[in-house]
Amino acid sequence: MTPLENLHYAIGQLAYAVAHIDGRVQKEERQKFHDIVLAELRGGDYAFDISDIIFQILDKDKQDAATAYDWAIKEFRLNSHYLSPELKGAFTRILEMIAKAYPPVLQEERDLIDRFKKEMASLKGDPTYYK
């Protein structure tokens, strides 16, 4: 996979982690994620299926939210040179919308998103790669 595909796979992991915190991923959360990704990332040449299919893979593997989060952050760090400010913002918005897709938004979901924002603030992309 390319670095951009890895980033999309990672946001799928994180979206799964947010959706899974309450114990199971709701059908509405899965559909909302697909719609959100299409809306937020439609302007670029992105592999939407990578972000979307991760829900099915993680459901099958019975991945817990903490493991999904840790793996995703590792991928963001490894591919951080491709993280433009716009892409980081889109990824943050995606997670926030996923949390709101199936109310109520739990404190654990807010905590995970806040942790993600802090992680993203520490990562600096390289304009050579994303411009």
CATH code at position 89: 1.10.3680
| Of residues 75, 89, 103, the one with CA closest to residue 12 | 75
What is the span of the domain harbouring residue 72? Answer: 3-130
The Cα–Cα gap between 114 and 95 comes to 10
Count H helices and E strands in the chain, helices first: 7, 0
Total count of residues recorded for the chain = 131
Instruction: State the total domains in the chain.
Output: 1
The confidence band for 120, taking pLDDT boundaries of 50, 70 and 90, is very high
State yes or no: pLDDT of 128 exceeds 90.
no
Q: According to the model, what pLDDT value does residue 26 have? A: 66
| Residue 88 tokens, joined | 């980081």
Share of the chain above pLDDT 70, in %: 78
| Of residues 2, 3, 13, the one with CA closest to residue 84 | 3
Dump pLDDT digits (tens) for 49-70.
Answer: 555 566 666 566 667 788 888 9
User: Which positions ≥6 away from 2 have C-beta within 8 Å?
Assistant: none
The Cα–Cα gap between 37 and 29 comes to 12
| Residue 53 tokens, joined | 């299919």
